Amino acid sequence: MAENFYQFFSEFHREGNEPLPQITYHFDGLPLEDVVFTVHVVHKILSTIKENSAPGPDGIHPKVLKECADNLSLPFYLLFRDSLDTGIVPDAWKTAYVTPIYKKR
């Protein structure tokens, strides 16, 4: 079964630093570069993270993000704003752990 998941999801993987296509997605008719959010919004999201979630590829436990929300909100806001303004998404943000979970019908 693991091999089947590997085969399926490996089709979506890109090797190296191939350029990604230009972002053309619009949210409610609003271009991504015009998306408005604030430090307060970032703080609210960090403050409400589920602490029992597993860390992602960066190894940072969600509890750390939640407890450090006051200090991380501004730097995260600046990173996200810069990413939207430049259209550049760091490679680390394109990595995730995917764990299939069996659920009874």
Is residue 59 within 8 Å of residue 97, measured between CB atoms?
Answer: no
Predicted pLDDT of residue 73: 98
pLDDT tens profile 68-105: 999 999 999 999 998 888 878 888 888 888 888 888 87
The 3-class secondary structure across 5-41, one letter per residue, is: HHHHHHCCCCCCCCCCCCCCCEECCEEHHHCCCCHHH
Give me the residue spans of the domains in the chain: 32-105
- Give pTM, 2 decimals: 0.65
Is residue 56 within 8 Å of residue 97, measured between CB atoms?
Answer: yes
Could you tell me which of 66, 37, 67 has the C-alpha nearest to residue 50? 66
32 or 90, which is more confident? 90
Strand, coil or helix: 63: helix
